[in-house]
Structure 1
């Protein structure tokens, strides 16, 4: 059982619930709302949700351009969130999650740091991730934050969230420019106190105890660096789960922990972004 304070038994691990045929038909007609995990786990539903986003071009002051996709909530003006994809790239899973953020009342901007079709294999994802130029990516993400802050329908409050590869870049974005909140899902947080000196945003991190790469040693080091840098506004949450536990399309998905992390993230953004 999970509460906002933590999780106990791990026997909740497993696939997300599936929509009934009737629920799928209604969702595809725009007449029903389904839990995010149900949508993400169903390629047809995820694609339908993803198709509600609109493409935009983000141009950095240094000249780099990046395609991104944006969706607006029903009620405007609204605060906004930059969303950074996993190592797979910008796929329907991230787009559908952006659509859910809009349902929750946020302007959601799903960025594409690869500029190429999303990978479907681990080797393909590794190649895409290795192709990223960190200086150019930083410039593009700074421009993405500026795009939202200047958006006519934005309140000026902007957060950032990322998963896996994007989790590390969520933190990098908060180091490179002023955002109002930063959420990291099992991303690389190996930073020195000096690297964290520019951090002004409150941070929330979600990590799995079974993760062999983004592990306790790395995250403990991150927390020590935060303290050494004099940063006090952060929350670190651990889950009895593996890397990518919030991704319903993968074999490591953990329904209860993913739901808990989502609830914590929504509460955090509500508090920091309004």
Structure 2
């Protein structure tokens, strides 16, 4: 895979080992104290670690490529029923669109529904879709401001119930006024994994796009009906370990899918609020492919 690329991010030099330590902290078993100890060892001092840590993390202050009050859009908080309780989310429509529009579920990372994912939903709406960014922590009090707390709450979710909640989200959007009944889903990180699991469980999913998402077990792949677009980061060894088995299972089952691997970029390369991991060329290319894919399969 990669050597040890050094990434200039607002001054301090960030290495791939530092990014991997952050990934271990946010996705595996390394806790905050362990992460800072490891980062201190990698940077050479506690002061350097303290300067670099915020560059590895997401910064909500950067999360407004499309302004929340953009006059081209109508954004609102909506609620809808599921078997487990009432879900909430941010629904965004293009104001001047005519006719019945296709819909897209925008599924958040393991940080929960935050300003960045709401911004992604606004971007999707500007492409001519009705976009819904659900808060999958709605049933446990909603997404907290503290990201560590949000990750803990995401980790406590029941996977089967979460898939059922996602299926209820499809049903809600399919019946929404002004839509054409076709529902796609795009997810990032934890949300990408949920898109893969939703594709297994929901035959009415119109199309799925997973950004660096964990793959479902190979024996579940034959149940998939939706066409899939799967984006992976070339440096993301943890998630990429499952690519070939997934590719083989999708091919064997005769599914419609495209796998795109973006060389030299990291997990979360689409998240423009993370200075160290965001890669604009890869993000722009993947976004263009995503929009074109939904236009092809959702109408």
Q: Scaled by the length of structure 1, what TM-score is found?
A: 0.79
SS in 1 for 2:293: helix
Which protein is bigger by CA-based radius of gyration?
A: 2
Match of 1:90 in 2: 113
Which runs of 5 or more residues in structure 2 are unaligned? Answer: 11-59
Shift of 1:197: 1.9
Please, which of 143, 160, 183 is the counterpart of residue 117 of structure 1? 143
Higher helix share: 2
- After superposition, where does 1:168-187 map in structure 2 within 5 Å? 168-177=193-202, 178-187=204-213
Please, which of 72, 76, 87 is the counterpart of residue 66 of structure 1? 87
- After superposition, where does 1:104-253 map in structure 2 within 5 Å? 104-115=127-138, 116-118=142-144, 120-121=146-147, 123-177=148-202, 178-192=204-218, 194-215=219-240, 217-228=241-252, 230-240=253-263, 241-250=265-274, 251-253=276-278
Q: Distance in 2 between matches of 1:180 and 1:206?
A: 18
Match of 1:24 in 2: none
Match of 2:68 in 1: 48
Are residues 44 and 84 of structure 1, via their aligned partners in 2, closer, same or farther at CA, if it must alter by over 3 Å? closer
Note if contact 1:47-1:92 (Cα within 8 Å) is conserved in structure 2. Answer: no
The root-mean-square deviation of aligned C-alpha atoms, in Å, is 2.5
Which runs of 5 or more residues in structure 1 are unaligned? Answer: 1-9, 16-39
Q: Tell me whether 168-177 or 237-246 shows the greater mean CA deviation.
A: 168-177
| Residue 259, structure 1, aligned to residue 284, structure 2 | yes
Shift of 1:69: 1.6
Note if contact 1:78-1:153 (Cα within 8 Å) is conserved in structure 2. Answer: yes
Q: Using CA pairs below 8 Å that are at least 6 residues apart, which structure has the higher relative contact order?
A: 1
Are residues 226 and 131 of structure 1, via their aligned partners in 2, closer, same or farther at CA, if it must alter by over 3 Å? same
Match of 2:33 in 1: none
Shift of 1:173: 1.6
Match of 2:124 in 1: 101
Q: Scaled by the length of structure 2, what TM-score is found?
A: 0.73
Note if contact 2:74-2:94 (Cα within 8 Å) is conserved in structure 1. Answer: no
